[in-house]
Structure 1
Amino acid sequence: MNDEAFRLVPIGVVHSPVADRRLMPPNGVEAEIEIFPDFADGLLRIEENSHLWVLGWFVDADRERLELVRPEYDPARRRRGVFGLRSVARPNPIALTATRLLAVEGLRLRVAPLDFIDGTPIVDLKRYSPSWDCIFSARSSRDRYLIDWDSPERLAEYEREATNFHGELCGWVIIGARIIQHLGLLWKVHPKDEDLRVTVSDDPELTHLADALQALTAATLGNGRLRVTSERKVSFTWRERRWTVAPRPLPDLPLEAFRSLAIERLIDEYS
């Protein structure tokens, strides 16, 4: 084993309203990254980028464990190595997340969302490159083997994925995430299952919803899993099953309300 040590120099620190990792929302919060004066020159023209990769250091991470048991997975696959997870536990506890750059104010970067707690050391920043970093066809173990269909964490993960694709969080994005979560509960099917077919509407009111559903299912015209209709409805087929829903007009409510409303308040279902 090579015992050579690498020297990491913190370039800044996180200022976040959340100081306890257990209280961090799954999608993170708005926060600030303070860059230390010695590294100020590295910020030149950083505002030309809409998103950044942020690399931090998990100070209190368990650096000895290489395997974890994750209860949200299929029982036969719950024991997993940390190199296939996004766990805090790992030999070199490097934290990695992509975030939107909201503003640059001197040596402070205002970003959102960021899931690093207050006081997290920052070891590097890099621009997020859509041409290099966005792999729409990518799949992970979470796309295949998760079974916590109705957990709030799953809805939050769906929301984040759909928001990243669509460009902003809105009511239709949350409704799209709710529809996909409900579909999983109904059929016990993962949204990126290769046998799942999706029909979205080109109705102007439902185009944001179409974005969310395409993001979460990875259905495209090219892979034959996506169809478009002029009718004001969306539908899913999987093997011998079909589920069609007609979204109701978007209510004028705070975004948080879309997560708690009964699904029947948001859509009309048809078999």
Structure 2
Amino acid sequence: MENICLNPVGHVVSSVESTREMPAGGVPAAIEILPQYESALLRIEENSHIWVLSWFHQSERSKLVTSPGVNHDLPEYGVFALRSASRPNPIAISLAKLLRREGNRLILEKLDAVNGTPVIDIKPYFENDIIFSPKTSYIPGKNREYRQNQMLRRALAHHQEECLHLQLAVRMALVAEEVFGHLNNPDLIVSVRGSDCLADTIQGLSRARLANPPRFSYVPSTALQQTNWDLADKGTLTLTWLGQTDIMELEDEEFLNIDFEN
């Protein structure tokens, strides 16, 4: 098989110089496109999100098997079954929110590539890229704080606004995950009684559909904010908001009534 030669189309401009310093989810960054490729950006600003394909030049290339970076206590996986930066060809694919274009620069909300990372391609995020409830490996983060931050990122990507009931949904889903594991379990039934924001965020986090299989139901309410999670042979978890607003600073029992029945 012939070797492949790739030429960068640009590079990442970031405040982070080392992969060890890169926080999960990335930092505000930009992509600077080489002058000869600037015309390829025509009308890219019509897109809110883009796929960035970059070359993780600081990554190890000899590993074929490793434990997930988010939790080294988990079993090993082949690198093709992970998003690990260490792989034979360290091509990274990152979904980034495009804030604006400034000439040959794309200003991004966040990107998880260090300063100077070569960019090998850019593609727009299309509606056809969406798989609402895919089957995936369950790879929980190493601790509760990490899992909450990851869940908050997913909630914001889905709901698009960090409102009070989004925060409530994140904390409820975090409790449910600690009881039932993977929230995208096709046998986990989820119901919501409460606001549109609570229901929308819970559905986004659980990936529960109304049909095929029917996992999600919703009853609008202003008087009650409650979620119910049911898994056969495991039990039923009911979480009811007690009304506090400083949700992200409190312990679960300080703002939730937690009722679990086997």
CA distance in structure 2 between the aligned counterparts of 1:36 and 1:114, rounded to whole angstroms: 19
Map 1:234-249; keep pairs closer than 5 Å: 234-239=227-232, 241-249=235-243
Q: Is the 8 A contact 1:52 1:127 kept in 2?
A: yes
CA distance in structure 1 between the aligned counterparts of 2:143 and 2:199, rounded to whole angstroms: 22
How far 1:88 sits from its partner (Å)? 0.6
Q: Is the 8 A contact 1:137 1:218 kept in 2?
A: yes
Return the letter of the residue paired with 2:153.
R
Q: Which of 3, 8, 13 in structure 1 is aligned with 2:6?
A: 8
> Are 2:257 and 1:268 aligned?
yes
Q: Which of 68, 72, 85 in structure 2 is aligned with 1:88?
A: 85
CA distance in structure 2 between the aligned counterparts of 1:259 and 1:11, rounded to whole angstroms: 41
Residue 160 (structure 1) aligns with: 153
Q: Is the 8 A contact 1:74 1:147 kept in 2?
A: no
Map 1:90-129; keep pairs closer than 5 Å: 90-129=87-126
CA distance in structure 1 between the aligned counterparts of 2:141 and 2:39, rounded to whole angstroms: 46
How far 1:133 sits from its partner (Å)? 0.6
CA distance in structure 2 between the aligned counterparts of 1:259 and 1:118, rounded to whole angstroms: 32
Residue 185 (structure 2) aligns with: 193
Per the normalisation by structure 1, the TM-score is 0.84
In structure 2, runs of 5+ residues without a counterpart are none
Q: Is the 8 A contact 1:171 1:250 kept in 2?
A: no
Change in Cα spacing, 1:30 to 1:62, as seen in structure 2 (3 Å) is same
Return the letter of the residue paired with 1:155.
Q
Residue 20 (structure 1) aligns with: 18
CA distance in structure 2 between the aligned counterparts of 1:5 and 1:239, rounded to whole angstroms: 52
Q: Is the 8 A contact 2:9 2:121 kept in 1?
A: yes
CA distance in structure 1 between the aligned counterparts of 2:16 and 2:39, rounded to whole angstroms: 29
How far 1:269 sits from its partner (Å)? 3.0
CA distance in structure 2 between the aligned counterparts of 1:15 and 1:66, rounded to whole angstroms: 29
CA distance in structure 1 between the aligned counterparts of 2:215 and 2:186, rounded to whole angstroms: 8
3-state SS in 1 of match to 2:173: helix
Q: Is the 8 A contact 1:54 1:122 kept in 2?
A: yes
Change in Cα spacing, 1:17 to 1:250, as seen in structure 2 (3 Å) is farther
CA distance in structure 1 between the aligned counterparts of 2:182 and 2:136, rounded to whole angstroms: 12
Q: Is the 8 A contact 1:35 1:107 kept in 2?
A: yes
Alpha-carbon displacement from aligned partner over 1:42-61 (angstroms, at most 9, x marks no partner):
11111111110001111121
CA distance in structure 1 between the aligned counterparts of 2:105 and 2:165, rounded to whole angstroms: 32
How far 1:249 sits from its partner (Å)? 4.4
Return the letter of the residue paired with 2:208.
A
Map 1:64-79; keep pairs closer than 5 Å: 64-70=62-68, 72=71, 78-79=75-76
Change in Cα spacing, 1:264 to 1:153, as seen in structure 2 (3 Å) is same
Q: Is the 8 A contact 1:29 1:112 kept in 2?
A: yes
Query: What CA RMSD, in Å, does the superposition of the two structures yield over aligned residues?
Result: 2.3
Query: What is the count of residue pairs matched by the alignment?
Result: 254
How far 1:93 sits from its partner (Å)? 0.5
CA distance in structure 2 between the aligned counterparts of 1:74 and 1:225, rounded to whole angstroms: 31
Per the normalisation by structure 2, the TM-score is 0.87
CA distance in structure 2 between the aligned counterparts of 1:210 and 1:149, rounded to whole angstroms: 27
Residue 176 (structure 1) aligns with: 169
* Range with greater deviation from structure 2 (39-48 or 10-19): 10-19
Percent identity (aligned): 35
* Range with greater deviation from structure 2 (147-156 or 206-215): 147-156
